[in-house]
C-alpha cells in the first residue's frame, strides 16, 4: 500500500510541476491534461509495482521484462513525447525500404516536452536539482538522431537557456518569443 501511495504522490507532484510550467507560458489546456494516462490502469499499476522513488519505474520494468508496457502505452497517447512523432518515411517506402523517421513536432508540444523534462529532473533529483540538471541529463543521452531537426534545435535551445539563465527567464522567452503571447507578458521588443 505504501508503494501505491508513493507512486501516486510522485506522478501527481510531477504533473503539478508541469502544470505550473505550462501555465507560466500560457499552455493552460496542456498543463491541465498533461500525463493523464499515468492514472490509467495500464500505466499506474506497473508504476506501483516498479516504484523506486529515484528514477522512472519504466526503467525498472524494462530491466525486469525487457520492455516497459507502461511506457509503450504512455508514449502512444502523449504528444509531448518525441517518440509519438515517429512515422514511416514515404521516400523509403517507394524504394522498398520501410524506415521510421522523426516527424516535426508542433512547437507547443516541444514546449510541453521541455516543461516535462524540467519537472522530471526536479522530481527525481530532489534537493540536488539545479537549473542545469535537465540540460546535463539530455546531453548524457544520445537521442538527437531520433529528433526532427526543428524539434532538436528548439528543445536544446530551451534546455541550454535554462541551464544558463534559469526557468523564469526561459519561460518568459517561450511566452514572448515562441508562442508570441504578448498580451500575457511584458516582453522587450
Residue 44 within any structural domain of the chain:
no
Residue 66 within any structural domain of the chain:
no
pLDDT of residue 142: 85
Which parts of the chain register pLDDT below 50? 189
**Helix and strand element counts for the chain (H, E):** 10, 2
Residue 6 within any structural domain of the chain:
yes
pLDDT of residue 189: 45
pLDDT of residue 53: 87
**Over the stretch 153-175, which tens digit does the pLDDT of each residue have?**
999 999 999 999 999 999 999 99
Tell me which residue range forms the domain holding 112. 2-35+78-184
The string of DSSP letters for 47-86 reads HHHT--SSS-HHHHHHHHHSS-HHHHHHHTT-TTSGGGGE
Into how many domains does the chain fold?
1
How far out from the chain centre does Cα 112 lie? 6
Tell me whether residue 78 is exposed, middle or buried, using C-beta atoms within 10 angstroms of its C-beta: 0 to 12, 13 to 18, 19 or more: buried
pLDDT of residue 188: 52
pTM of the model: 0.92
pLDDT of residue 95: 76
Residue 189 within any structural domain of the chain:
no
Amino acid at each position: 500500500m505504501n508503494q501505491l501511495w508513493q507512486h501516486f504522490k510522485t506522478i501527481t507532484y510531477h504533473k503539478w510541476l508541469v502544470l505550473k510550467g505550462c501555465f507560466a507560458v500560457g499552455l493552460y489546456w496542456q498543463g491541465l491534461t498533461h500525463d493523464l494516462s499515468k492514472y490509467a490502469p495500464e500505466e499506474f499499476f506497473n508504476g506501483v509495482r516498479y516504484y523506486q522513488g529515484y528514477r522512472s519505474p519504466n526503467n525498472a520494468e524494462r530491466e525486469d521484462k525487457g520492455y516497459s508496457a507502461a511506457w509503450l502505452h504512455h508514449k502512444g497517447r502523449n504528444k509531448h513525447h518525441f517518440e509519438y512523432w515517429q512515422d514511416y518515411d514515404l521516400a523509403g517506402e517507394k524504394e522498398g525500404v520501410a524506415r521510421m523517421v522523426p516527424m516535426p513536432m508542433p512547437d507547443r508540444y516541444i514546449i510541453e516536452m521541455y516543461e516535462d523534462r524540467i519537472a522530471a529532473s526536479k522530481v527525481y533529483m530532489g534537493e540536488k536539482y539545479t537549473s542545469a540538471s535537465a540540460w546535463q541529463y539530455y546531453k548524457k543521452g544520445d537521442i538527437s538522431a531520433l529528433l526532427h531537426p526543428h524539434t532538436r534545435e528548439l528543445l536544446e535551445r530551451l534546455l541550454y537557456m535554462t541551464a544558463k539563465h534559469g526557468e523564469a527567464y526561459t519561460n518568459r522567452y517561450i511566452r514572448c518569443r515562441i508562442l508570441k503571447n504578448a498580451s500575457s507578458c511584458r516582453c522587450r521588443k
